[in-house]
Chains A and B, each alone.
Chain A
Amino acid sequence: MGGRPSGGGLHRFANPGRFLRLSARVSPWLWAAAALLLAVGVPWALVFSPPDWQQGETVRIMYVHVPMAWLSMAGYVALAAASATALIWRHPLADLFAREISPVGAAVTALCLATGSLWGRPMWGTWWVWDARLTSVLVLFFLWVGHAALVRAFDDEERGARAGAILAVIGAINVPVVKFSVDFFNTLHQPASVARLGGPSLHVDILYPLLVCAVGFSLLFAALVLTRTRAAVMEKRIRQLQLAQARRQDAVAA
């Protein structure tokens, strides 16, 4: 195995190599931007923004809950898009991205559910109800966890990636269900406040820190997923190098 690999192997590696070079340049900026926005957004949300006229200080949970909710859905759209790309074009980087985004997506959805529950207890008077919004977000969480487990369950990595991709694409139906559940069904959960006909129904003193937090958490999410994907590409390269090394040693021994 001392010679050059076949053309197919070279092609498969050309893109991940370029990805590592490009992402190495983007990554520090992503981390810096996330840190900067959260350094502004978190104190703004927790200290400098006003309380709500009826929720009081509990409104401050919203500044972490809403970004988590948006990320759980936007992240899933990214997962479904990457999965479709992987299914159609067999792009190995899309498979790695899908594999690495799902644990982060599951964590973000879990945080959305947990922070929502912590808001619901004092405000609604309950930790949990089985209304259409809460149930569909729980389904979203199971889809994230199911995807993360499924892609890791197969002996053959490519088969696992394929199964996970099919699940991710089918599960994408749930995203519009989550989004529009509050409009189509009567729910305990309130309708949308920001993305709403007639403009946001939040006062700007509450809306602006929310938007800064949302962008900050989104950048942090992106930086995490990018870092995990970089590590995964390197780990794949390590496995191939180890395999090549073992083959060389076998050849010498023979």
Chain B
Amino acid sequence: MSLSRKKRRMWALALGLIGLGSATALVMTAFQDNLVFFLAPSEIAAQHPGPERAFRLGGLVEAGSVEKSVNADGRPEARFRVTDGPATVPVTYVGVLPDLFREGQGVVTLGKLGTDGMFRASEVLARHDETYMPPEVAAALKRTGHWEPERGAPPPAGSWNTMSTGGNPAASTGQGG
């Protein structure tokens, strides 16, 4: 038995152990701390986290709440409100917003809640919902008043997921998925 083969096996075993060890470690730490990946506005209202604790706030961007500007340093700044229905938290953020960010979309923001009730975010992540539709279908749903994206989730998928993309809004009804 040559040394190189022994060494190869040793490395393979070490790799396996490292893999197993890190898997277990990840399960222990990441899952324990991050099972609650974000807090909803109503949970924040109930828990009152202190101003020095950084945490994630998650919810929908409230319709009509987004104000974009450029701050004194020339960096983009955004103000908006995050809501889960019963409660709402105002947020300020300096930086570039992700592509999916819009009113009515889910967001997860990392930051601290000031004593003034303002959440100062250092990171804003857009959350995608589980719907995928061509632009024509989204436009048709908006045109016919079936959906206002700023106000939240689209209507049940069965009402639009077989809709023709030829631009005929009448096809939106009565087709199930």
Chain A interfacial positions (CB closer than 8 Å to B) = 50-56, 58-59, 62, 122-126, 129-132, 135, 138-139, 142-143, 145-147, 149-150, 152-155, 167, 185-188, 190-193, 196, 198-207
Contact = CB atoms under 8 A, between A and B. Distances in A.
A149 B23 contact: no
Interface stretch (B14-22, B44-52, B61-69, B70-78): B14-22
Given A153-B12, A155-B9, A206 B134 contact: yes
Contact of A135 (B20, B30, B176): B30
Interface in B80-136: 96-102, 105, 108, 123-136
A203 B160 contact: yes
A129 B129 CA distance: 17
A131 to B, nearest CB: 5
Nearest to B95: A125
A203 B134 contact: yes
A193 B13 contact: no
A90 B36 CA distance: 43
Highest count of chain A CB atoms <10 Å: which of B23, B30, B176: B23
Contact of A52 (B127, B132, B161, B177): B132
Interface of B: 9, 12-13, 15-16, 19-20, 22-23, 26-27, 30-31, 34-38, 40, 58, 96-102, 105, 108, 123-139, 156-158, 160-163, 165, 176-177
B31 A202 contact: no
A126 B98 CA distance: 8
B13 A149 contact: yes
A139 B157 contact: no
A121 to B, nearest CB: 9
A126 B123 contact: yes
B125 A125 contact: yes
List the 4 closest pairs (A to B, CB-CB), nearest first: A125-B98, A146-B19, A50-B134, A53-B138
Nearest to B6: A155
B73 to A, nearest CB: 20
Contacts of A200: 157, 161, 177
B134 A51 contact: yes
B127 A124 contact: yes
Given A124-B126, A135-B34, A142-B19, A203 B163 contact: yes
B75 to A, nearest CB: 16
Nearest to B102: A54
Given A167-B20, A200-B177, A205 B37 contact: no
A98 to B, nearest CB: 14
B130 to A, nearest CB: 4
B91 to A, nearest CB: 14
A190 B128 contact: yes
